Amino acid sequence: MAAASSANMAVSYLQEQSFDFCFVAYDLGPRAKTGLQVIQEATLDGARRFQDTFVLVAEPEQAEVLAGALEYAPDSCLSKPYDPVRLRQCLDRLARVKQLLLPLEALLDREQWAEALGCFEHFQGLYPGVRPYFLRLKGLVLLRLQRYEEALALFAGVLQERDVDWAHIGQGVALFRLGRYREAQECLLRLTGQHHTAVEAFILLTLVHRVLGDPGAAQMLLRKAVILQPSMPQLQSDLANLMALEGDWAQAVTAWREALNYARHSPFQRADDYYGLVQALLQQIDERQSPASVAAEAEAVRTLEAAVRDFMGEPVVLFRARLMGAQIYQRSGNRSMAEQAARDAFERYAALPLSDQAELVDPLVDALEFSSLAQASLERRQEVMRRLATLDWGRANLAGMVSYRKGHYEQAFDRFREAEALRGGSPGVVLNLVQSGLRVAVSTPARRAEILRQCSDLLFDVRFGVLSHRQQERYRALCRRLGELNRSQGGSG
Give the pLDDT confidence of 6-52 residue by residue, as tens digits: 788 888 888 888 787 888 888 888 778 888 888 888 888 888 888 88
pLDDT at position 72: 84
Fold entry, domain 391-488? 1.25.40
Q: Which CATH superfamily is domain 1-100 in?
A: Response regulator (3.40.50.2300)
pLDDT at position 490: 62
How far apart are the C-alpha atoms of 85 and 113, rounded to whole Å?
Answer: 38
Q: In a structure prediction context, what are the per-residue pLDDT tens digits for the chain, which is 493 residues long?
A: 778 877 888 888 888 887 878 888 888 887 788 888 888 888 888 888 888 888 888 877 666 656 678 888 888 888 777 778 878 888 888 888 888 888 889 999 999 999 999 888 777 776 777 788 889 999 999 999 999 999 999 999 999 998 888 999 999 999 999 989 999 999 898 888 765 557 888 899 999 999 999 999 999 999 998 988 888 899 999 999 999 999 999 999 999 999 999 998 888 999 999 999 999 999 999 988 899 999 999 999 999 999 999 999 899 999 999 999 999 999 999 999 999 999 999 999 999 999 999 999 999 999 999 899 999 999 999 999 999 999 999 999 999 999 999 999 999 999 999 999 999 889 999 999 999 999 999 999 989 989 999 999 999 999 999 999 999 999 999 999 999 999 887 655 4
Identify the sign of the CA torsion 308, 311, 317, 318. Answer: positive
Dihedral of CA atoms 407, 411, 417, 422 in degrees, nearest 10, equals: -110
pTM, full prediction: 0.90
pLDDT at position 208: 95
How far apart are the C-alpha atoms of 186 and 214, rounded to whole Å?
Answer: 15
Q: What is the CA radius of gyration of the chain?
A: 25
pLDDT at position 493: 47
Q: What are the tens digits of pLDDT across the range 379-395?
A: 999 999 999 999 999 99
Tell me if 75 sits within 8 A of 55, measured CB to CB.
yes
pLDDT at position 130: 79
Q: SS3 string of the chain?
A: CCCCCCHHHHHHHHHHCCCCEEEEECCCCCCCCCHHHHHHHHHHCCCCCCCCEEEEEECHHHHHHHCCCCCCCCCEEEECCCCHHHHHHHHHHHHHHHHHCHHHHHHHHCCCHHHHHHHHHHHHHHCHHHHHHHHHHHHHHHHHCCCHHHHHHHHHHHHHHCCCHHHHHHHHHHHHHCCCHHHHHHHHHHHHHHCCCCHHHHHHHHHHHHHCCCHHHHHHHHHHHHHHCCCCHHHHHHHHHHHHHCCCHHHHHHHHHHHHHHHCCCCCCCHHHHHHHHHHHHCCCCCCCCHHHHHHHHHHHHHHHHHHHHCCCCHHHHHHHHHHHHHHHHHHCCHHHHHHHHHHHHHHHHCCCHHHHHHHHHHHHHHCCCCCCHHHHHHHHHHHHHHHHHCHHHHHHHHHHHHHHCCCHHHHHHHHHHHHHHCCCCHHHHHHHHHHHHHHHHHCHHHHHHHHHHHHHHHCCCCHHHCCHHHHHHHHHHHHHHHHHHHHCCCCC
pLDDT at position 95: 87
Identify the sign of the CA torsion 270, 275, 276, 278. Answer: positive
Task: Tell me: cis bond preceding 81? Omega within 30 of 0 counts.
Answer: yes
Angstrom CA distances, 195 to 26, 41, 69, 199, 383, stand at 15, 20, 11, 9, 54
